[in-house]
Amino acid sequence: MRKVLIFPDFDKFGGTRTFLKNLIDFYRLDGYQIVTVIEKESCDHDILEFLIKNNSKVLFLSEKYRDGIFSRFRILEIIIDLFLGIPIIAKERPEIVVISTSIPGRFLGLMLFPIKLIYIVHTYPTCVSITNQILMLLSLYGNKRILTVSKFSKNQISKCWLLGKRQKYINYIYNFSNLENNSPGLQTIDKKITKKILTLGHVRWYKNPDVWYSVARKTIEKYQGQVEFLWAGEGELLDIYRDKVNKDNISHIKFLGYQKNVAELYNQSAIYFQPSLRESHGIAVEDAMIMGLPCVVSNAGGLPESVIDGKTGYVIDPYDMDTMVEKILNLMENENLRKSMGEAGKEQYKTKFSQERWIKEMKALHEQL
């Protein structure tokens, strides 16, 4: 039986975690024996239960080797990659190694090992790395690929890591929404009454929470009626913004924290809003599209690859708060526009981001190795 060895990292919720589950499903259904190497410090019961349920063998690594001096020098990080990974590869003897990471460069040193390998990076580097460029020149060839999640991310990785003809070994495949098959049976909500504007994701600087909060306040002030801005997700800034809401005494802004049933949140909402400063693609936008919501997003990263400005929503500069408020108010006051943009978003999703397309493109990628 073919064997795949997967080195993933993932958060408590969000795109990397969802992608890992989709990746496990992909290899299980394709008949692979699966071995997943989890960093001990980040493992949790939900992921462990999922892996065991899907017949994956689970191995554990410790992150302590990446602390201190090893994290300061790129060449030492590569040595640690080899120190941690090669003994496992040699023992398990997989047909293919797959690395799935949101930290550009994590386990990139394993590209030096002579084996089929797919390096999946869910975000993108922001500066040129001479060390990584040399590493790619030495290791990136016929049976190896770099895979990312948007054309924008592909271009950034090419610019920062790849030289010359090595750029032909990088691919991008858009992720799909897990709500595609998991949202039937929801009770229809009268969105003329609720007027909820939803955001999902970590409450972190790159999600642009200052602008989000200001837009929410201005919209609430201008719109005389029932309107709520909801942000579901955890992050290091969550408590800061909850305190801000309490201090400003604004009942129509709610930071919900982690929410398991996101399908119900989308179903209750009229508009999806994501003014990120950085975004490789934005899986939550795809969730909103499959649920029929018009999307107001920034023009950062891969977001414009999902939302067609003026057709499925609006694409706006991440600091242009006045235009964000204007477009949100326009959608709130025009039910027919919300419906037409939402339906156009659904069609855009089915054409460009479906699970069927993802599986087909993943299989084609493996055939290239």
What is the chain's mean pLDDT, rounded?
Answer: 91
Asked if residues 186 and 291 have their Cβ atoms less than 8 Å apart, the reply is no
Query: Does 154 share its domain with 287?
Result: no
pTM for the full predicted model:
0.92
Query: Does 165 share its domain with 59?
Result: yes
Torsion of CA 130, 136, 138, 140, to 10 degrees: -170
Least confident of 65-74, 282-291, 357-366: 65-74
State mean pLDDT over 303-326.
Answer: 97
- Residue 122 pLDDT greater than 80, yes or no: yes
Query: Does 346 share its domain with 362?
Result: no
Query: Does 335 share its domain with 239?
Result: yes
pLDDT tens profile 149-171: 999 999 999 999 987 778 889 99
- Residue 191 pLDDT greater than 90, yes or no: no
- Residue 63 pLDDT greater than 70, yes or no: no
- Note the pLDDT of residue 360: 97
Residue 40 belongs to a domain with what CATH number? 3.40.50.2000
Least confident of 132-136, 169-173, 302-306: 132-136
Query: Does 326 share its domain with 364?
Result: no
Query: Does 118 share its domain with 7?
Result: yes
Query: Does 162 share its domain with 196?
Result: no
Query: Does 364 share its domain with 341?
Result: no
Least confident of 11-25, 83-97, 194-208: 11-25
- Note the pLDDT of residue 65: 59
Number of domains observed in the structure of the chain: 2
- Residue 124 pLDDT greater than 60, yes or no: yes
Query: Does 236 share its domain with 130?
Result: no
Query: Does 239 share its domain with 167?
Result: no
CB burial of 166-188 (b: ≥16 within 10 Å; e: otherwise) equals bbebbbbbbbbbbbbeebeeeee
pLDDT tens profile 230-288: 999 999 999 999 999 999 999 999 999 999 889 999 999 999 999 999 999 989 999 99
- Residue 68 pLDDT greater than 80, yes or no: no
Least confident of 14-18, 313-317, 329-333: 14-18
Query: Does 171 share its domain with 256?
Result: no
Range of the domain at 107: 3-176+355-368
Query: Does 361 share its domain with 307?
Result: no
For residue 26, name the pLDDT band (cuts at 50, 70, 90): very high
- Residue 5 pLDDT greater than 70, yes or no: yes
